[in-house]
């Protein structure tokens, strides 16, 4: 499958192409699926860092379609990792539902990059949802001894069962039901964060929700709480599209 103009741009930006092979899968909840893969030599070529992600290529109505997913439990020695999918209507979710051992999928590595803050923060603030769960778990695993407060938004009832890796005694997990297109999460964070933050320059805030919620929270922590720009990492993972009237 060709990758269209997006693939050409990624090549010009030194993107590297690989082919992954499915080895198995698990249905974590009714709306969340984990697919296990071999890496086609990727990890040996690129190395691994926290929250590392890849672009998967799907065919959608005869056209190439790419979506980004964070690696779960990458093992460079074995050349394996998993990917997790928050299931909804769409080509990527359809592929994950039907993925069987031996299936292959093309991928490009370009644009990924994250370094653990140095020096380590005195407190880690994490705000996300099922779409960003793999990155949340990777981030927590990279800083296991850092006190962390995690706000995890749950759009569906079964999301309360998703495995946030908060096993460290330094981690506090707050599951927040999604209401009012993310406004409820923003209210919860604004109400509690000032008392938790401490010195803004000594904290680290990581936000990955829907685009509108991410913008609102990023503006709040930067402008109202004065967290320095280099101590905030924010990315809108998806867009909340209102149904047609």
Summarised one tens digit per residue, pLDDT across range 90-129 is 899 999 999 999 999 999 997 667 888 888 999 999 999 9
Mean pLDDT of 34-41: 98
CATH code for the domain of 47 = 2.40.30.10
What is the extent of the structural domain holding 49? 4-109
Q: Are 137 and 68 within one domain?
A: no
In total, how many domains does the chain have? 2
Q: Are 195 and 141 within one domain?
A: yes
Cβ atoms of 200 and 174 within 8 Å: the answer is: no
Q: Are 37 and 129 within one domain?
A: no
Cβ atoms of 43 and 76 within 8 Å: the answer is: yes
Q: Are 151 and 49 within one domain?
A: no
Tens digit of each residue's pLDDT (9 = 90 or more) over 55-79: 999 988 888 888 999 999 999 999 9
Q: Are 98 and 176 within one domain?
A: no
CATH code for the domain of 152 = 3.40.50.80
Element (H, E) at 211: helix 211-219
Please choose, from the candidates 142, 125, 121, 146, the residue with its C-alpha nearest in 3D space to the C-alpha of residue 208: 125
Q: Are 105 and 160 within one domain?
A: no
Percent of the chain with pLDDT over 90: 75
């Amino acid at each position: 499958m060709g990758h269209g103009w997006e693939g050409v741009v990624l090549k010009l930006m030194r993107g590297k192409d690989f082919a992954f092979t499915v080895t198995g899968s698990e249905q974590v909840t009714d709306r969340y699926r984990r697919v296990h893969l071999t890496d086609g030599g990727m990890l040996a070529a690129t190395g691994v860092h926290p929250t590392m992600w890849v672009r998967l290529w799907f065919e959608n109505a005869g056209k190439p379609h790419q979506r980004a997913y964070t690696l779960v439990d990458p093992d460079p020695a074995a050349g394996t990792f998993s990917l997790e999918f928050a299931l909804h209507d769409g080509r990527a979710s359809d592929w994950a539902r039907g993925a069987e051992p031996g299936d292959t999928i093309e991928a490009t590595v370009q644009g990924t990059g994250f370094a653990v803050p140095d020096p380590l923060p005195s407190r880690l603030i994490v705000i996300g949802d099922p779409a960003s769960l793999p990155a949340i778990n990777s981030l927590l695993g990279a800083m296991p001894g850092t006190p962390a407060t995690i706000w995890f938004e749950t759009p569906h009832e079964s999301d309360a069962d998703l495995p946030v890796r908060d096993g460290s005694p330094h981690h506090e997990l707050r599951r927040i039901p999604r209401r009012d297109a993310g406004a409820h999460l923003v209210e919860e964070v604004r109400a509690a964060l000032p008392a938790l933050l401490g010195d803004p320059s000594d904290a680290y805030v990581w936000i990955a929700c829907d685009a509108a919620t991410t913008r609102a929270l990023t503006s709040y922590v930067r402008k109202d709480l004065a967290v320095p720009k280099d101590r905030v990492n924010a990315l809108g993972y998806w867009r909340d599209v209102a149904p047609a009237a």
